[in-house]
A and B are shown apart, each in its own frame.
Chain A
Amino acid sequence: MKTWICLILMTILAGFVFADAMPDFRLPDETGKNVSLSDLLGKGPVILDFWADYCQPCKQAMPYLNDLKLKYDSLTVVLVSLDAPKTQAKAKVYLKGKDFRFVTLFDADKTLAKKLNVVNPPHTFILDKSGEIVFSHLGFQPGMEKEYEKQIRKLWGLQEEECPACQEGKCGQGLCPEGGKCGN
């Protein structure tokens, strides 16, 4: 019994010290040029978002991700399409029509998705400057972008932005109508 307990504890300990690094990858962008992980790191945090053309929540997330990119210039937003080669043209047309400021990559053969066990889109990862995964989330509903922004600001050592309604003194009982408390 003692042996098993020790074994389990050591396994758990080992699990905690495993690094949570983004696996290295080389994926083609919309022009066919290869982009690797090292090309994306070093400037600032990275949001890596897996999506597919048939996925409505994925498309719903894109304007919010674009707003984050416009707000934080050193943030890099990477969209990785899981679409099959025969539907990639449709995915490209969708993105080109929206003028988003994303790096667009294609992972039809699930090379990176498999390493991260991404099965259902959307699936979002936030990386720090060195490529460590600091946050991951499956799915998207409006409001989630606030959590993404909170994680990004944490990477820069910034505090959570104060709720705009609080700044105008419009919060009831110290609670922000958009979630969270006033005075952060």
Chain B
Amino acid sequence: MRKLILLAALLLAIAALGAQNTLSLNGLNEAQYVYRTAQDSLNSYFRDSFGFNLGYKGFSFGMKFIAELPKYTISQSELLDELASERLSLGWKELYASYAKDAYLIHAGTIEETFGSGIVFRSYRDLELDEDYRVTGFKFAYDDKLRIKALYSGFPSSAAVGKYDLAYGADAEYPVLEPLTLGASALALQTLIGSSYKKDDIFAGRAKLRKGVLEINAEYAARDKNKSSDNGTAVYANALVALDAVQFGGAYKNYDDFAYYDHLQDLPLANYHNETLADSQPSGLDEEGFQGWATFGFLEDFSLNLDYAEAWDSNKDLKMNDAHAGLDWAKNDLTATISYNHVEKVDDGTSHWQKETYPSFNLGFPAWGKNVALSGEFKTVEKTVLDTDLNQYQDISHYEPKLQAEMALGKLGLSLGAQSWWKDLSNFADSRYWANLEATYPVLAGTDLIFFAGSEAGGKVCRNGVCRYVAPFSGLRLELNTRF
């Protein structure tokens, strides 16, 4: 009884603090029940993610616990019928505490941080690839006119289970003149390769100029690999001119041996679709390229966007180009967007060529007293592959059409989607199809119920007004998401 009284007193004390409006609690619980239509002993399972942030004055404490039983990734190749037991995953995926007062910040735990544009250092979660590139450690920051960050951290080694690699460094930035800001970064990476640690020292400088309608950013970085003459450099620059109805700009990149052993960087790729130069090599190894874009607003309701980029390696064996043209129109409750997208990659060394083109559209209009959204795209993929039986290269192609319709009936959101993979029209009946239905309903304030049935190919999905990255899936899924 005494313990209960003490606990009650403690809770009331916390409540009293809360009544002073200085204690805040924000959290999110995402619970899922999943039934996969696959011959899998784990085809019926639960997933839960519970995270919260507690704040009191300048102090902040956050935790996130995720149980994925099992864990499926966004990668298509992970759609196995029978999962290995190591795919079960549960544990604390995020844990941190920080204190901020005025311009000072001290942080310990899971760190998400960027130096400059991300060329030198970025600790982050890649939602698109469902990979976690975050480090854990300590960070100090001073953020006023002078901005300084310093961190010391570790992260699991990709070379050896149970071992850790190190990343530590600092970044500073200062507006030396009113339109000109200069910055510098220094980073050291200790990466376990084989049985010993390899050390990389990276130093970078950057400049940002903002004057009237002109904005220019430029960054240069040099990588000194310890006990190796194979060092690297990275240059990235972009410029933007923003006039009233017209904007245009460009970007340039040049990366030479600047791909880290671990993914603690996020190199700007200087193209609209964030495509790598080649699927066969990591970004930053050997590439140079440029990008140009322009946006025109006209007739009050229209906007035209044009973007073109090219990239190549030093031998000119690898080449790629990337293009986008889009037209937006919006008037009252009517919206329309049509676009054309093109990505082409060539590898002369392996005689590989691939081209993807996809026109797409998004429409929003009122119908039957409700707001309806329609979207679709028709992707054509062409590539050259080596036929091992005939021992010669052949051009092959396939089509990936996609269509989605959404409507809100009061608080109930409904979405119908269909996607396909056709080799050609003669294989229409034998092709792959994905069809799905999703319904969302806010059962309480801050609590949404989401029901999904059908199959989807995975990737980035915007449905019922929300965008997220999903894994390939076939079956039923019931989600209850509570925000508090």
Seen from chain A, the residues whose Cβ lies within 8 Å of a Cβ on chain B are 3, 6-7, 10-11, 13-15, 17-21, 23-24, 26, 31-32, 34, 52, 54-58, 60, 63, 84-87, 89-90, 92-93, 96-99, 108-111, 114-117, 119-122, 132, 136, 138-144, 177, 179
Contact = CB atoms under 8 A, between A and B. Distances in A.
A76 B308 CA distance: 36
Interface of B: 4, 7-8, 11-12, 14-15, 18-28, 51-53, 55, 58, 60, 62, 94, 100, 103, 112-114, 116-118, 122, 124, 143-144, 181, 208, 210, 238, 240, 242, 247, 249, 251, 266-269, 272, 274, 293, 295, 297, 303, 305, 330, 333, 335, 337, 362, 364, 366, 369, 371, 373, 375, 406, 408, 410, 413, 440, 446, 448, 460, 462, 464-468, 481, 483-484
B446 A23 contact: no
B11 A85 contact: no
B143 A34 contact: yes
B124 A142 contact: no
Nearest to B333: A142
Contacts of B371: 141-143
A114 B62 contact: yes
A32 B208 contact: yes
Nearest to B295: A97
A136 B483 contact: yes
A138 B407 CA distance: 16
Given A18-B25, A58-B467, A84 B4 contact: no
Contacts of A19: 18-24
A138 B466 contact: yes
Contacts of B122: 84-85
Nearest to B304: A97
A17 B22 CA distance: 11
Contacts of B26: 23, 115-117
Given A18-B24, A98-B297, A120-B468, 11 more contacts: A17-B15, A19-B24, A21-B55, A32-B208, A34-B144, A56-B375, A86-B267, A98-B303, A136-B446, A141-B373, A141-B408
Contacts of B208: 32
Closest 8 CB pairs of A and B: A139-B465, A117-B28, A86-B268, A142-B371, A139-B466, A17-B15, A19-B21, A141-B465
Given A3-B4, A86-B267, A109-B113, A115 B62 contact: yes
Contacts of A121: 466-467
Nearest to B128: A54
Contacts of A177: 369
A132 B21 contact: yes
B464 A31 contact: no
Nearest to B57: A24
Given A86-B266, A98-B303, A117 B19 contact: no
Which of B19, B58, B240, B465 is packed against the most chain A CB atoms within 10 Å?
B465
A63 B330 contact: yes
B114 A85 contact: yes
Contacts, number: 179
Contacts of A120: 466-468
Nearest to A33: B175
A163 to B, nearest CB: 13
Contacts of A17: 15, 18-19
Nearest to A179: B410
A8 B408 CA distance: 37
Contacts of A138: 448, 466, 481, 483
A14 B406 contact: no
A24 B58 CA distance: 8
B124 A14 contact: no
Nearest to A116: B26
A126 B284 CA distance: 42
A114 B110 CA distance: 11
B465 A57 contact: yes
24 contacts: A10-B7, A14-B14, A18-B23, A18-B24, A19-B20, A19-B22, A20-B24, A24-B58, A34-B143, A54-B460, A57-B466, A57-B467, A84-B122, A85-B266, A86-B267, A89-B240, A93-B247, A97-B295, A114-B62, A114-B94, A115-B62, A117-B52, A132-B21, A142-B371
Nearest to A26: B143
A55 B466 CA distance: 8
Nearest to A10: B11
A23 B408 contact: no
B181 A109 contact: no
Nearest to A110: B112
Contacts of B406: 141
B124 A109 contact: yes
A163 B28 CA distance: 35
Given A32-B210, A89-B249, A109-B112, A23 B269 contact: no
Nearest to A131: B21
Nearest to A121: B467
B275 to A, nearest CB: 12
Contacts of A87: 274
Given A93-B295, A97-B297, A18 B18 contact: yes
A25 B373 CA distance: 35
Contacts of B181: 32
B7 A7 contact: yes
B210 to A, nearest CB: 6
Contact of B117 (A21, A31, A85): A85
Contacts of B484: 15
Contact of B465 (A7, A32, A140): A140
A109 B113 CA distance: 6
Given A18-B23, A109-B114, A117 B11 contact: no
Nearest to B114: A85
Contacts of B210: 31-32
Nearest to B5: A6
A111 B149 CA distance: 14
A18 B4 CA distance: 21
